[in-house]
Structure 1
């Protein structure tokens, strides 16, 4: 939702007139959209394809068709898998000429039937936007859609000013950190695919040798994986490091908190892009990441972050040892990564690429100022 908010709020208002529609629930950014003058409508689609949800979703589909017609929509820009399916059917029924889908991850959990549905719905899609080459390639292969149908637009990052020394000192005081304590940090939802268990295992194996180091894990569990946080807390306790692993929960000030980290670690098993890694790189925080394709894409195959073998806690521990033993090398790496990330992944670049494709398709369709939903 932050991604959509960033895009909508920065695209040319003289050319694009945006409407926001939340298909499954009112999103966390809805109030922000409304406060900025973007109309928000809410529907009640339910997830899944079971017979019990289809009648209700059919009703919601026709509500969506009526909304699209009433608003005079020229472009549908939809995101993720199931919302994109319903939005494309509604766009077809409404006669909307331009339909875009942005894919944010690799959707490894989809069934063969869902991949077949995606293949057929591609006929109703003007373009797919993928946040990484990996997402494009996996979607193209599994859904059997030609790569020519895709355009890759990497996520952009808002380059916040570096947190001042006073703010960093206040954070350290709030968490009772000794001035000599070094912090390893991670940001992400508490999910198995995010790999926080690997990070705890790796940290546990080196903790004795680095008594001045603690681990921060920022994020909260998701409804579909309840108990994840408790299992991570118990894992730290089994290794006797529970007093050195701090779980902060979700935070709105992540971009500031990054500046108390000496090392940022992204141990994910799966990612579509790796926005948290990119944010750390932009902040100049030296990073270590797993070698999965999406993260390798962000770090230029390990040029701008240390890399370890995915799902290998021992290899991660070895990288942590190197990073802690070579702080000057890591600072140089962080500086290089910041310069690269700010040039390659700016929000302005992301918005300009979207506007270019929107303009190209609108001009081809002979549409002036457009209504985008």
Structure 2
């Protein structure tokens, strides 16, 4: 399907996406833009985005040198260095009527080039308080939200399990995301190899893709599972576009990352009524109510992961109460509609500040 052609004059916000491969940033754009388009004239620019999003063609870029209808400037919302640079070139060299907004998810000290770019933005957004602490200029914290209609608890987890070809008599814990060392998939697998023999009513699901670069890593994990005799209970199910259905089959989610910029999977799990055991990386400590909707553990600590998971796996009453709390927590604080509204507030403030 061809991408929807837009009228540049009607576009008040441009969202560049200069990375071809799917990433967390790209996924954020894909989720946000359709909702933002209900309220403002917005379009994406760049490769790697689905056809249903409003999109500027490259040949339409010169149209950004003219003011949009009914507004003095446009907002250029960048999320990567090359996108900030492109906005600077358009604004400062070609004198395009643009206000530049940058969203940072990084939790590390920025290099000089990145600092140079950030200082020239008109507004900066941090995706968490941890991220904000690494920024040396004023910023606004706007945490990511998710689609709570897409991610919701099931009427019957056993029925969902059957539909997915799983054993409805088993309870499932899961680890979803790219299969690689950074994501801690090996920690999850090792924890399950240690735990599942003591919890015969539980099985585990690894959902996600291993790229060619990480194929050997996944093969090693599968070999460990085979050696432990747990191939029928630690399942590698690959990548799924309908991942929300797989969340609804779970009773416990584990986010074992060694490093993360933000990390949406705990929100997706909690919105699905699934408590979460998560390492204290990314924004996880700001997403999870420790002891209420899940448990935070140190990163790279398999023993801590096993101990926390065992507590949830062995306590049906606590786990069911946490499932209810998890859904309510995400619905009230982390809906994507809330994120859209907060972004709109930033756009409005930079346009007014002329």
Name the TM-score class by shorter chain. Answer: 0.7 to 0.9
Report the equivalent of 1:41. Answer: 57
Asked if the contact 1:64–1:90 (Cα under 8 Å) also holds between the matched residues in 2, the reply is no
1:331-346 matches, cutoff 5 A: 331-346=320-335
TM norm structure 2: 0.82
Report the equivalent of 1:169. Answer: 159
Asked if the contact 1:168–1:259 (Cα under 8 Å) also holds between the matched residues in 2, the reply is no
What's the CA shift for 1:314?
0.9
What's the CA shift for 1:226?
4.6
Asked if the contact 1:65–1:93 (Cα under 8 Å) also holds between the matched residues in 2, the reply is no
Asked if the contact 1:199–1:267 (Cα under 8 Å) also holds between the matched residues in 2, the reply is yes
Report the equivalent of 1:130. Answer: 126
TM norm structure 1: 0.78
Asked if the contact 2:84–2:117 (Cα under 8 Å) also holds between the matched residues in 1, the reply is no
Deviations 1:227-246 (A, max 9, x none): 33223222323433233211
Deviations 1:183-222 (A, max 9, x none): 1111111121111110111111122212222110111124
Structure 1 Cα separation of the partners of residues 179 and 323 of structure 2: 25
Asked if the contact 2:172–2:202 (Cα under 8 Å) also holds between the matched residues in 1, the reply is yes
When residues 254 and 66 of structure 1 are mapped into structure 2, their CA distance, relative to the original with a 3 A threshold, is same
Report the equivalent of 1:155. Answer: 144
Report the equivalent of 2:80. Answer: 80
When residues 174 and 278 of structure 1 are mapped into structure 2, their CA distance, relative to the original with a 3 A threshold, is closer
Structure with more of its chain in helix, by fraction: 1
Asked if the contact 2:125–2:141 (Cα under 8 Å) also holds between the matched residues in 1, the reply is yes
Asked if the contact 2:175–2:206 (Cα under 8 Å) also holds between the matched residues in 1, the reply is yes
Q: 3-state SS of the aligned residue for 2:143?
A: coil
Report how many residues are paired. Answer: 322
Could you tell me which runs of 5 or more consecutive residues in structure 1 were left unpaired when the two chains were aligned: 43-62, 366-373
Q: 3-state SS of the aligned residue for 2:133?
A: helix
Report whether the alignment pairs 1:258 with 2:243.
Answer: no
Report whether the alignment pairs 1:9 with 2:29.
Answer: no
Bigger mean CA offset, 91-100 vs 320-329: 91-100
RMSD: 2.6
Report the equivalent of 2:44. Answer: 20
Report whether the alignment pairs 1:297 with 2:282.
Answer: no
Could you tell me which runs of 5 or more consecutive residues in structure 2 were left unpaired when the two chains were aligned: 1-25
Higher RCO (CA < 8 A, seq sep 6+): 1
Structure 1 Cα separation of the partners of residues 83 and 229 of structure 2: 44
Asked if the contact 1:80–1:104 (Cα under 8 Å) also holds between the matched residues in 2, the reply is no
Asked if the contact 1:30–1:40 (Cα under 8 Å) also holds between the matched residues in 2, the reply is no
Q: 3-state SS of the aligned residue for 1:193?
A: coil
What's the CA shift for 1:64?
9.4
Report the equivalent of 2:15. Answer: none
What's the CA shift for 1:223?
5.5
Deviations 1:73-123 (A, max 9, x none): 7221111344434443444323243101112343x5xxx9x7110111123
Report whether the alignment pairs 1:32 with 2:46.
Answer: no
Report the equivalent of 2:16. Answer: none
Structure 2 Cα separation of the partners of residues 294 and 212 of structure 1: 32
Structure 2 Cα separation of the partners of residues 313 and 361 of structure 1: 46
Deviations 1:252-284 (A, max 9, x none): 212222111111111111122221101111111
Asked if the contact 2:292–2:325 (Cα under 8 Å) also holds between the matched residues in 1, the reply is no
